[in-house]
Structure 1
């Protein structure tokens, strides 16, 4: 299996993979409107990849982008400004769930690292390829880079099954949050420092 840095040419396949992987994901079901949910989800993944992951972070893919992992990195200049710039688009994609999405982000904020960290913003494997080690393989380069930088790696997951996968990668749960307005339980997890 080949794992390599993604390029702009991988975006369409990566969006397809992430959209399939997140189709029924509890967090996105709670924070992105139900009307045209699949379209909104795909556009939000494309936004993250093209405006944040590729230009200001690192993205790795497997062959044919059947697995994708996108990270923000501590050396990204003005990442706060970048997120502020895309916030209106993210709110539009959230639709009638925009207020809930904002409340969910606020509920998770206390667990996020305040110092330098690699943040695993999105990761997914096409459903037919899950369970073959592809997820671990596309995540590993980010973990190696965080370790080499001497900083934490951080992620959030709303699926208990994923908690065990991430524990096997060295992450520890630092917070469990019941998201507002009947949202799913979400685990904040850190690895390193």
Structure 2
């Protein structure tokens, strides 16, 4: 089956991209650590993924298939200081926000000091799983990193994803154990 066209997300795609990521990460170890309560998970995860979408959509580094059925949210190499969490703090209470900040601090401490492209989110809506669309949108960002002559980096706390990414050419370059096990991978 041919892969549908890969497009760059626009602000109009926010709702479908956020819906995809919330559904795709419902059982993910990181999201369950950040937002363990079943009742508040959908709302807090939507705020979190919406925040990531909003930070990157104008950079044109969010690739999608079928308007968000599969989505790769990439962060280009950092220039200057990273943006603060002010808009996220307006949507999350203190406990979940503290866990988000602790996780981000642990991840950022484990990332390379040299420039790289960062695959922050790779998601396929469960209704579209198994079609190879996740790999297709991931590859769009990998091509961009290769065009820039830079490595690509991601992190996962899902042990099953480590092998999935290895099969796609990624290698574990660092492991962090707090606040939960995080594998940093590079290609």
TM-score by length of 2: 0.88
Tell me whether 1:173 sits opposite 2:172 in the alignment: yes
Tell me if the contact between 2:110 and 2:176 (Cα under 8 Å) persists in the aligned partners. no
Structure 2 segments unaligned to the other structure (5+ residues): none
Q: Secondary structure at the match of 1:65?
A: coil
Q: Distance in 2 between matches of 1:163 and 1:15?
A: 23
Greater Cα shift, 108-117 or 155-164: 108-117
Structure 1 outlier segments of 4+, above 4 Å:
none
Tell me whether 1:98 sits opposite 2:93 in the alignment: no
1:187 aligns with: 183
Q: State the 1:135 CA deviation.
A: 0.5
Report how many aligned residue pairs link the two structures.
182
Tell me if the contact between 2:65 and 2:133 (Cα under 8 Å) persists in the aligned partners. yes
Structure 1 segments unaligned to the other structure (5+ residues): none
1:59 aligns with: 62
Tell me whether 1:37 sits opposite 2:41 in the alignment: yes
Tell me whether 1:48 sits opposite 2:47 in the alignment: no
Q: Structure 1's 163 and 151: CA in aligned 2 closer, same or farther, altered over 3 A? A: same
Q: State the 1:101 CA deviation.
A: 3.0
Q: Distance in 2 between matches of 1:69 and 1:42?
A: 16
Q: CA RMSD in A?
A: 1.9
Tell me if the contact between 1:32 and 1:98 (Cα under 8 Å) persists in the aligned partners. no
Tell me if the contact between 1:62 and 1:134 (Cα under 8 Å) persists in the aligned partners. yes
Q: State the 1:148 CA deviation.
A: 1.2
2:75 aligns with: 72
Tell me if the contact between 2:47 and 2:88 (Cα under 8 Å) persists in the aligned partners. no
> Greater helix share, 1 or 2?
1
Tell me if the contact between 2:124 and 2:134 (Cα under 8 Å) persists in the aligned partners. yes
1:105-161: CA deviation from partner (whole Å, max 9, x where unpaired):
332233202221110111100112212101001110100110111111010111111
Q: Secondary structure at the match of 2:185?
A: strand
Q: State the 1:57 CA deviation.
A: 5.1
1:121 aligns with: 120
Q: Secondary structure at the match of 1:146?
A: helix
Q: Distance in 2 between matches of 1:56 and 1:33?
A: 31
